[in-house]
A and B are shown apart, each in its own frame.
Chain A
Amino acid sequence: MLKIESITIKEFRGIRDLTLNFKKQSFGICGPNGTGKSGVVDAIEFALRGDVTRLSGQGSGDLSVGKHGPHVDAGEKSENASVRIKAHLYAIGKDVEIYRSVASPQTAVVEPTDDDVVSAVEELVRHPEFALSRREIAKYIMTPATQRATDVQNLLRLSEIDKIRKALTAAMGTEKRAMDAASRSLLDARQDLARSLDLEEIDPSQILDAANQRRSILKLEPIEELNEGTKLAEGIEQDGENGEQVSKRIFSERISSAIEFTTGLDADTSERRTDLVEALTQLRDDAEAFSTLRRKKLTSLGLELIEDGSCPLCETTWVEDELREFLLARLETAKEVDEKLKTLTSEADYLSEKMKEANEYLKAVRSMIPPLKLFLLMKPISLRISRLSRRLERFKDPFGDKQKLNELIEEIDGAWLSDDTETVQVLREVQEAIEKLPDESAEAAAKKELLIASNLYSNSVSRKAAFQEAKRKHSISEQISTQFHTTASEQLTAIYEAVSADFTKFYRSLNRGDEDDFEGELVTEGKKLNFNVDFYDRGKYPPGAFHSEGHQDGMGLCLYLALAKHTLGERFDFSVLDDVLMSVDTGHRREVCRLLTREFPNTQFILTTHDKVWLHYMRSEGLIRDSQLFSGWSVETGPKVWDDSDVWESIDKELEQDKTSEAASLLRRYLEHVGYVLSDGLRAPVRFRADGRYDLGDLLPAGLSRAQKQLKRAEQAAKSWENETKEKEIGEIRSKFAKVSETIQVDYWLVNPLVHYNEWSNFTSSDFKTLADSYKELIGILRCDNCTAFLHTHLHRGKEVALSCSCQTMHYGLSKKRRVISNLASARIIKS
C-alpha cells in the first residue's frame, strides 16, 4: 500500500482547513470526543477510496458523500471540499500525490500519472480494511458464524476463490451431462443392435453368434472376432435401393415399443403432472414468491456484475464489500422460494425427459416410413415430432416470466393426453402397414437383418468412441475441479491456522501474566467459520461467552491484525485505528503499543484516541514520534489543534503578544495532561470522582507529590545498596525538584482551579513567563531527555520495583537491600 507524508483537508466533514504532517511514520491524534478526530479518518478513507464508510455503509440511511461530505457551512465552497494526500508507494518506490474532491469522488487526480503509480492507487480502492473503528471490532467477534465467514472471506478476498470454484464445477457438470448423454446414446445403439439380431442381452459373444448364424444361412464365412472395424454384413451385396432395409421383424418390434411407451406415458406421468400443475399454479398466484424469484435472478446477476463498488443497475456508489453483503442478504431471503423452485425444476425435468424419449421413438418410426413407402404418414409423424420439440421449448427457464409459467401449466395440464392419443393412432397405422408386409424367406430375413445389424454395429462403435471421449473429458474436468477444491480447502485451513496462531500470539502478548496459556481458533464447519477462545483452561467458548467486553475488544483488535497480516502480507504498511485502543483494558494499553511496534515495525499506524495517557504511552513505547492534539472544535473553525511538543514555544509566542490569558489557557491544558500522565504512571492516590472528570487540581498535585515520595524511596534504596552514584543522582533530582516546587508554590496555585486560572490571567506577561519557565523546569526534571517519557513506576508481581522512563536512561530501583541478621541477634530478638 503506502505511507502518508502529509494530508491536507479542506471544507470536508467537520474540518475547514487542516494539514497534518505524518512524515511517513505512525502518528497519534488525540482530543476529546467531538473535536474532529474521526473527520481526519474519514478524509483519509475518502482520499484513498473515494468513499466514506460512515456515509455509505450499513445503517447510513440517506447519507451520502456528495451531500454530506462537504463542511456544513461550505455553501458555495462545497466544490472546494477536498483532500490531498502526499505519500510514498513502497512497492514501486515512488512518491505520489492523490487529490480527490467531493465534486467528483470517483475520480482521483494522481501525480505522477505513471501506469504503475495509477495501478497502485487503484489497488487502494479495493482495500477498505486499512481502517478499523471501534464499532467494526464487533464484526469479527460478536457475529454469527455464517456472517463471520462472509466478513473474514471478504477481508481475505476469497469471493474470487468461490467464483473460480463455481466455474470449474460448472465445467465439470457440463462434461458430466455430455458423458451421460453419450452413455445413453451408446446404450440405445447397443439395444437397437441387440434387437436387430433378436437378442435379449447386449453381449459381444452373443452378437457374434447371432451374426454368424445368419451368415451361415447365407453360406458366408463366420466372423472370428468382434472389433471396431468388423463388418457384420461383409460379403453381402446390397440391393439396388439405398436407404434402410425393411425387416418385418425389426420394424414390428420398433413400432410395438413406440406404441407401448406412448400409450403408457399418460398413466406413468399422470400423478406427477397433477402435483406439478398444482404447485406451479400456487407459485404463479403467490405474488410475493414470484416477485422474490424474479428479484433473485436479478440479484444473482448483480452480484456477478459488481465492479469497483458501483451498483450495476443504478450505478450508485457503494463500498464494494457492503454492496456484496447487501445482495447476499437478499439472496438469503429468497432461499425458501429457491428450495421450492429446485423441486419444481426437478419435476419439470422428469417430464421433459419423458417427452424427449417419446420424440426419439417417433424419430425411429419416421426412419421406417421411406423403406415402407408409407409416404402419407410422413407428414403427421413429422408434425408430431416438431410439436413435441415446441412443447419441450416451454420447459426451458419458465420461472422468471409469468406468461411462460402460464404456458407451461397449460402444457402439462391440457394438451398432453389428447396429443398422445392422436400420436398413437398414427403409430397404429404404421403398425398395420408393417403387419401387411409379406413374410420373408429365411435367406431374405437373414440378409436384411445382417445389413441392418451391420449399420447398427458401426453406429454403436462410433458412439462408444464418443462416449469414451466424453468420459475422458469429464474425468479431466472432475480431477481439475476436485484438485482446486482440495488445494483451496487445504490452503484455507492452513491460513485459518496461521491466523489463529498469530491471533493467539498477539492476544497472549496483550495479556501477559494473565492469560499466558490462552488459545484461540478459527475453524470452518460447512459454511460457518467458528471462532472459539480458551477461557482460563476451562475449555473453548465463543468470545462473548465469558470474557469481559474489554477483553473482547482486545480480541477484535488482535484478530483484525492477524487477518490483515495474512490479507496484505508485506503490503500491510498502512492502517488507521480509530479510537480502537480506547476500548482495550487500561492495564494492557502499554502492551498494545508494544505489540504494534514489535510485530508491525514497517506499518504506519494512524491512531486516534480521546485519552491523553494513551497518547503518552504511544510515544513512550516508541509507537509514535509525533502527534496532534485537538483541544476543541467549533462548527465555524473546525478542530482547534494543539501540539504538546512545542507547547513552551506556543506559550512564549502568546506572551510576546501580551496574550497572558491565552498563554495561561495553554499552560493549564498542558499541566492537566502532565498531571494525568504522572498520576497514572506513578500510581498516585487521586481523590475519586464518579464522573471521571478529573481536573488540574485533582491530578497535578497528586502526581507531583507521588513523584517526590517515589524519588525519596529510590534514594533510600540506593543508599541501602551503598550505590553512592545513584544516591547522589537521585539526591540532586530531589533537591532541584524541591527548589522549583517552592518557586512556583505548587500547593497554592493548584488548590482551586478556578481561582488559579483567574490569577494566572491577571499576571503580567513577564510574571507569567517566570511561572511558565518554572513549570517547564519542574516537568523537565521528571521527563527523560532521550525518550521524552515521564518517570513511571514498574511493577513485578504487583510489587513496585523501580522508577524509570521507557528507555531506561533514568532507572532507579525501589527495593531496599535486606539486612542480614546473625543467628545470635535473631535469638535475642525472639527472646525479647
Chain B
Amino acid sequence: MTRKSNATSPTVSHIIDTFENELKEFDQLDNDQVERLIALIRDDPAINGSKVQEAIFPSENESEH
C-alpha cells in the first residue's frame, strides 16, 4: 500500500486530453515537445514552472546552463 497511484479524476483527465489535442494543432510545437509536456502534466504531482520550461525547451535550456 505504499506504491503511488497516478490516477486522476475523469474531469481532470478530460481537460488534459482536450488540451493535448489542441496543443497538437500548434505549429510552433513538435510532437516531442507536446508529449514531454503532457507526460509532465499527467504524471508529475510536483510540476512547476522550471519543469514546464525543461519539457518545452530542453536542449536550449541545457545549452544555456
Interface residues of A (CB under 8 A from B): 106-108, 110, 115, 118-119, 121-123, 126, 156-158, 160-161, 163-164, 166-171, 173-175, 304, 307, 469, 472-473, 475-477, 479-480, 483-484, 487-488, 491-492, 495, 566-569, 571
Contacts and interface: CB of A to CB of B under 8 A. Distances in A.
Contact of B56 (A126, A476, A492): A476
Contacts of A118: 1, 3
A307 B4 CA distance: 10
Contacts of A164: 16, 41, 47
B18 A304 contact: no
B53 A171 contact: yes
Nearest to A490: B18
Nearest to A156: B11
13 contacts: A106-B1, A107-B1, A115-B3, A122-B3, A157-B9, A158-B11, A160-B12, A161-B15, A164-B41, A170-B50, A479-B26, A483-B19, A491-B18
A483 B1 contact: no
Which of the listed residues B46, B50, B57 has the most CB atoms from chain A within 10 Å of its own CB? Answer: B57
Given A119-B3, A476-B28, A476-B56, A160 B19 contact: no
Contacts of B23: 480, 483
A498 B48 CA distance: 31
Contacts of A167: 47-49, 51-52
A170 B28 contact: no
A118 B5 CA distance: 10
Which of the listed residues B8, B18, B52 has the most CB atoms from chain A within 10 Å of its own CB? Answer: B52
B20 to A, nearest CB: 9
A107 B14 CA distance: 31
Nearest to B48: A167
Contact of B52 (A168, A479, A488, A569): A168
B62 to A, nearest CB: 14
B1 A480 contact: no
A119 B52 contact: no
Contacts of B51: 167
A119 B5 contact: yes
A126 B7 contact: yes
Contact of A487 (B22, B28, B45, B46): B22
Contacts of A106: 1
A107 B46 CA distance: 24
Interface string B15-37: 11011001100101100000001
A103 to B, nearest CB: 15
Contact of B28 (A119, A171, A475, A492): A475
Contacts of B12: 156-158, 160-161
Contacts of A171: 49-50, 52-53, 56
A571 B9 CA distance: 10
B65 to A, nearest CB: 13
Closest 8 CB pairs of A and B: A170-B49, A157-B9, A171-B52, A171-B49, A569-B10, A167-B47, A487-B19, A122-B5
Given A118-B3, A170-B48, A473-B56, 14 more contacts: A118-B1, A123-B7, A157-B11, A158-B9, A160-B8, A163-B45, A164-B47, A168-B52, A170-B50, A469-B60, A476-B26, A477-B52, A477-B56, A487-B15
B52 A122 contact: no
B15 A108 contact: no
Given A487-B22, A488-B15, A567 B3 contact: no
Nearest to A157: B9
Which of the listed residues A121, A164, A169, A477 has the most CB atoms from chain B within 10 Å of its own CB? Answer: A164
A139 to B, nearest CB: 18
A22 B19 CA distance: 42
A106 B2 CA distance: 10
B11 A566 contact: yes
Contacts of B16: 164
Given A108-B1, A121-B1, A122-B1, A567 B11 contact: yes
Contacts of A473: 56-57, 60
A167 B53 CA distance: 9
A304 B49 CA distance: 14
Contacts of B26: 476, 479-480, 483
A123 B5 contact: yes
A501 to B, nearest CB: 16
Given A126-B7, A168-B52, A569-B10, A487 B1 contact: no
B56 A483 contact: no
A566 B57 CA distance: 35
Contacts of A175: 53
A567 to B, nearest CB: 6
A779 B46 CA distance: 64
B5 to A, nearest CB: 5
Nearest to B19: A487
Contact of A157 (B8, B48, B60): B8
A560 to B, nearest CB: 16
Given A122-B1, A163-B47, A167-B47, A480 B11 contact: no
Which of the listed residues B3, B12, B45, B51 has the most CB atoms from chain A within 10 Å of its own CB? Answer: B12
Nearest to A110: B1
Contacts of B29: 476, 480
Contacts of A476: 26, 28-29, 56
Contacts of B15: 161, 487-488, 491-492
Nearest to B64: A178
Contacts of A119: 3, 5, 7
Contacts of B53: 171, 174-175, 477
A122 B1 CA distance: 7
B37 A480 contact: yes
Given A119-B5, A480-B23, A567-B10, A487 B47 contact: no
A164 B45 CA distance: 9
Nearest to B29: A476
A586 to B, nearest CB: 35
A85 to B, nearest CB: 15
Which of the listed residues B7, B9, B10, B51 has the most CB atoms from chain A within 10 Å of its own CB? Answer: B9
Nearest to A566: B11
A180 B49 CA distance: 18
B49 A484 contact: no
Nearest to B14: A491
Nearest to A106: B1
